[in-house]
A and B are shown apart, each in its own frame.
Chain A
Amino acid sequence: MAGSDAPEALADVIDADTGEGELERTIGLVGGLAIGVGTMIGAGIFVFPGLAAENAGPAAALSFAIGAVVALLVALPASELATAMPRSGGGYFFISRGLGTAPGAVVGIGLWLGLVFASAFYLVGLGSYAGQVFLEAGIALPVDPAIPLGVAFGVGLTVLSLFGTENTASLQNAIVISLLVILTLFLSYGSLDALGVFGAERVPERFFPPGGLLSVLQTAALVFTSYLGFAQVATVAGDITDPSRNLPLAMVGSVLLVGVFYVVTIFVATSAFGSARLGEFGEIAMVEVARSFVGFPGALAIVVAGLLATFSSANASILSASRAVYAVSRDGIIPEAASRLNLRYGTPHVALGLAGGPIVVLAATGQVELLAEVASFLHLVMYGLICVGLIQLRRESPSWYDPSFRCPAGLAVAGVGALASFALIAFMRPASIGVGVAVMIAAYGWYRYYATDVELKGDF
C-alpha cells in the first residue's frame, strides 16, 4: 500500500490539541473490517438470496458480482479521499469539501435518509429471522410477526444507542468473526454438496433467467444494498488508527470478502433448490437451504447467524445515520441543535432520534424491496459523486489535498465508477427511483431555504 508510512499529516492536525483537547483514534484494521463486513453481510446472505434467485435464477450470482465490481470501483476512489480527509461524515465530507455545499447538502441529507432506509430494510430482515425463531420452536402465531418484530427491534436499538454507554466494539468484532466461521463451514459444505461430493449430482438450472441480462442487471440494482457497508467505514474515518493504511484496507477488503461470500451463497442456494422455490421462501430462504443439508441443527445455526447478522447491520446503520446527521449539522446545513450531546450519557440524542424515528416508521411499511432500492439509490448518487469529486480534486489539486493512498489509475477508475453507479440506478423500479428523486429534490430545496450562505468547499 503506497505511502503507508507517510506521516498522517491531516489526521495529526485534526486530532491535535487546539486548546480543547485532543482526539484518540481507537478503531484498528480489524475493527474497521468488522464495521464494513458486519454492516453488509446481514443483507446479502440472510435477506436477499431468495428474492434475488426468484428474479434472476442462478445468474443472481452474476448480479452480486456486478455489485461487487461497482462497489470496488467506488471503494478505491473513496479510500483515496478518506486518507486525504480522515474525518467523520464519510462521503458527505468528501463531496461537500471537493464539490461544494449544494452537492454536499444533497448527499449529506441523502446519506442520512439512505441509511434510514437501509436500517429499516435490515430491521424487516431481522424481524423475519426473529419470527422464524417462533416457527422453529413450533409456536404458531396468528399473523406474520416479521414487521411487528422489526419495529420492536427498531425501537429497542434506538433506545439502546441512546442510553447504552458500554462500548460494544469488541462484541461487534466477535459477532462478525463467529458469523464468518458459521458461513464458511456452511458454504464449504454446501459447495461440496452442489458439486455432487455427497451423493447424486444436482441438475443445474438454466443459468440465465427468462428475462435475460436485463433481469440480472435489475437484480444487481436491487441487491446493491448488500454493498453499502464499506462507506460506513468512511463515516467513522475520524476514529480509525493509522488511516492511510487501515482505511483503504478496510474498505476494499470488506467489499472483496463479502462479494466472495455472496456469490458462493447464491451458487449454493440455487443448487439446493430451484429459483422459484427459493423465491417462495423469501427472506429466510437460507434457513431452508441449511435445513435441506443437515436438518434442524443447520436451520437453527442459520437462524441464529441471521439474527446476529441483521441485528449488527441494523445497529451499525442506525449509528452511521446519526453520524451523518452530526456531520451535516456541524457544518450548519441543518440546525446545530441536531448534534447536541447529553452530558449524562454522552450520546447524540437528537441525531439518534432523527435516525431512529423515521427508521421505525419505514420498517412498519414492510416494503423490503422498495426500502432496499431507495437505500441503494441514495447511496449510489453519493458514490457517483464521490468519483466525480476525486476527478475534480485531482484536476484542481488544491494545496490541502494530499492523500497518502492514491487510487491506481485514479481518473479511469473514478470515471467508470461514476458511470457504473449512475447506470445501476436506471435498472431500479420506477417507484424506488421516484422516492429517491423526491428525497433529493427535498434535500436541495432545504439547502436553498436554509443553507445557501454556507461555504464548505475546501473548508477544514
Chain B
Amino acid sequence: MTETPTDDREPTETGADSEAGGESEGRPSVLVPIEVLEGESLPSGTSALLANAHVVLCGYHVIPEQTAAEQAREQFGETAMSKLDEFAGALAAGGADVETRLVFTHDKDTTIDRLIYEHDCLAVLVPNSTERVESVLVALRGTVGVGRNTRLVAGLFADADVDVTLYHALNEGESPEDGESFLSGVRSDLVERGVDPEALETVVEDADVPIDTIADRAASHDAVVMGETDPSVTTFVFGMPSEQVADRFLGPVLVVQRARPEE
C-alpha cells in the first residue's frame, strides 16, 4: 500500500459527523477503480470531482484463468505500479488524499467488492470524463440510507462552488407532497453540513421509468450521484441502474454504497 503525500490543507468537512466509517479525517472515501494496464487512464475531470475526497485508487488487472496471478504480477507489477502512482499524483495534485491499491485478479467484481469493504468506502466512481464540475445531479430513492448520500455530497461539494440538484422520482403510492418533504429534509441536512443553500435545487417528478429520466436529466449536469440497487432479475438482465445511467450519460457517476454489515 502506498500512501501518496497530499497537501497540508485541513479537511474541508465542516459539519461535525459523529457517524463512524466511510470517512478519513472527515473526507468521504471514494473508490476509483482503474483497469491500469488496459491503456485506461485517469479520465479528465476526476481530480476536480474528487478534490475533497479520500480516494482509494484501485488499479486492477484482470488476468485470464490460464494465467496464475503470481505470474502476471511478476511480469506486469512494476509497470502497473508506476502508472498507478502517476494517477495518484494527479489526484493528489487536485487536492484529494490518495491511497493506492494494485490487485491482480481473475474477477474484477470480487476485487472491487472486497476493497469497498476493506476501506469502508462511501461510494464508487464509474470513471468517465467530464470537462468541468459545476453542477451535480443527486438522484435519491428514499429515506433508507440517505444519510450516506448526504455525507458524500456535503463532503465533496460543500466548499466547492458546485450546484447540486436533488432529484426524486415518486415511488408507487407516494404523493408529490411526500416527495417534496423528503427532499426538503435532505436539503436542510445538507445545509447543516455546510452546503450553500443558494447552490441547492430540488426536483420531484412522477417518472414512469426513473432510469430513463435520470439519464436524460443527467445530460445537463456534469456528474451524477446515485445509490446502488439490490441485485434482482431485472438488474441481472438489464444491468445495475447505475451502470445503465453511466452507459448513457457517459459522464462520471458516483455510486453510493449501502452500509456494509459488520463482520
Whether A22 pairs with B68 at a CB distance below 8 angstroms is: no
Whether A238 pairs with B104 at a CB distance below 8 angstroms is: no
Whether B110 pairs with A347 at a CB distance below 8 angstroms is: no
Mask: chain A, 204-242; 1 = CB below 8 Å from B; 0 = not: 000000000000000000000000000000001011000
Q: Tell whether A20 pairs with B70 under 8 Å between CB atoms, given A343-B37, A346-B63.
A: no
Chain A residues numbered 381-431 whose CB sits less than 8 Å from any CB in chain B: none
CB distance from B85 to the nearest CB of A (A): 10
Whether B77 pairs with A21 at a CB distance below 8 angstroms is: yes
Asked whether A169 is an interface residue with its Cβ less than 8 Å from the other chain, the reply is: yes
Q: Which residue of B lies closest to A237 (CB)?
A: B68
Of the listed residues A21, A322, A340, the one surrounded by the most CB atoms of chain B closer than 10 A to its CB is A21
Whether A24 pairs with B66 at a CB distance below 8 angstroms is: no
Asked whether A291 is an interface residue with its Cβ less than 8 Å from the other chain, the reply is: no
- Give which listed residue, B62, B67, B80, B103, contacts A341 with CB less than 8 A: B67
Whether B65 pairs with A341 at a CB distance below 8 angstroms is: no
Asked whether B73 is an interface residue with its Cβ less than 8 Å from the other chain, the reply is: yes
- Give which listed residue, B66, B71, B78, B101, contacts A22 with CB less than 8 A: B101
Q: In the complex, what distance in Å separates the CA atom of A26 from the CA atom of B105?
A: 7
Chain A residues numbered 70-96 whose CB sits less than 8 Å from any CB in chain B: 87-88
Mask: chain A, 1-45; 1 = CB below 8 Å from B; 0 = not: 000000000000010010111111111000000000000000000
User: Please, how many residues of chain A have a CB less than 8 angstroms from a CB on the other chain?
Assistant: 37
Q: In the complex, what distance in Å separates the CA atom of A166 from the CA atom of B65?
A: 8
Q: In the complex, what distance in Å separates the CA atom of A339 from the CA atom of B66?
A: 12
CB distance from A122 to the nearest CB of B (A): 17
Whether A330 pairs with B71 at a CB distance below 8 angstroms is: yes
Q: In the complex, what distance in Å separates the CA atom of A339 from the CA atom of B67?
A: 10
Q: Chain B: interface secondary structure?
A: mixed
Q: Tell whether A24 pairs with B107 under 8 Å between CB atoms, given A161-B66, A319-B66, A348-B71.
A: yes
**B114: chain A residues within 8 A (beta carbon):** 24
Whether B64 pairs with A22 at a CB distance below 8 angstroms is: no
Chain B residues numbered 68-94 whose CB sits less than 8 Å from any CB in chain A: 68-78, 80-81
**A347: chain B residues within 8 A (beta carbon):** 64, 66-67
Asked whether B59 is an interface residue with its Cβ less than 8 Å from the other chain, the reply is: yes
Of the listed residues A161, A167, A343, the one surrounded by the most CB atoms of chain B closer than 10 A to its CB is A167
**A22: chain B residues within 8 A (beta carbon):** 101-104
Q: Tell whether A326 pairs with B75 under 8 Å between CB atoms, given A20-B81, A20-B102, A24-B111.
A: no
Whether B64 pairs with A167 at a CB distance below 8 angstroms is: yes
Q: Which residue of B lies closest to A168 (CB)?
A: B65
Q: In the complex, what distance in Å separates the CA atom of A345 from the CA atom of B65?
A: 11
Asked whether B237 is an interface residue with its Cβ less than 8 Å from the other chain, the reply is: no
Q: In the complex, what distance in Å separates the CA atom of A339 from the CA atom of B73?
A: 12
Asked whether A323 is an interface residue with its Cβ less than 8 Å from the other chain, the reply is: yes
Q: Which residue of A lies closest to B114 (CB)?
A: A24
**A178: chain B residues within 8 A (beta carbon):** none
Q: In the complex, what distance in Å separates the CA atom of A236 from the CA atom of B59?
A: 23
Chain B interface size range: 20 to 34
Whether A26 pairs with B107 at a CB distance below 8 angstroms is: yes
Q: In the complex, what distance in Å separates the CA atom of A20 from the CA atom of B69?
A: 12
Whether B103 pairs with A21 at a CB distance below 8 angstroms is: yes
**B72: chain A residues within 8 A (beta carbon):** 341, 346
CB distance from B189 to the nearest CB of A (A): 37
Q: Tell whether A326 pairs with B68 under 8 Å between CB atoms, given A20-B102, A343-B37.
A: yes
Asked whether A164 is an interface residue with its Cβ less than 8 Å from the other chain, the reply is: yes
Of the listed residues A161, A236, A330, A341, the one surrounded by the most CB atoms of chain B closer than 10 A to its CB is A341
Asked whether B1 is an interface residue with its Cβ less than 8 Å from the other chain, the reply is: yes
- Give which listed residue, B66, B102, B103, contacts A348 with CB less than 8 A: B66
Asked whether B141 is an interface residue with its Cβ less than 8 Å from the other chain, the reply is: no
**A26: chain B residues within 8 A (beta carbon):** 105-107, 110
Whether B78 pairs with A23 at a CB distance below 8 angstroms is: no
Q: Tell whether A21 pairs with B71 under 8 Å between CB atoms, given A167-B64, A319-B65.
A: no
Asked whether A452 is an interface residue with its Cβ less than 8 Å from the other chain, the reply is: no
Whether A23 pairs with B73 at a CB distance below 8 angstroms is: yes
CB distance from B65 to the nearest CB of A (A): 5
- Give which listed residue, A14, A24, A87, contacts B110 with CB less than 8 A: A24
Q: In the complex, what distance in Å separates the CA atom of A341 from the CA atom of B104?
A: 14
Whether A88 pairs with B71 at a CB distance below 8 angstroms is: yes
Of the listed residues B1, B68, B76, B103, the one surrounded by the most CB atoms of chain A closer than 10 A to its CB is B68
Whether A326 pairs with B64 at a CB distance below 8 angstroms is: no
Whether A238 pairs with B70 at a CB distance below 8 angstroms is: yes
Whether B64 pairs with A23 at a CB distance below 8 angstroms is: no
Q: In the complex, what distance in Å separates the CA atom of A168 from the CA atom of B70?
A: 19
Mask: chain A, 229-257; 1 = CB below 8 Å from B; 0 = not: 00000001011000000000000000000
Sorted from nearest, which 10 A-B pairs have the closest CB atoms? A20-B77, A21-B102, A24-B105, A88-B68, A23-B69, A26-B106, A165-B64, A26-B107, A24-B111, A21-B77
Show the binding face of A for B, using Cβ within 8 Å.
14, 17, 19-27, 87-88, 161, 164-169, 236, 238-239, 319, 322-323, 326, 330, 339-341, 343, 345-348, 352
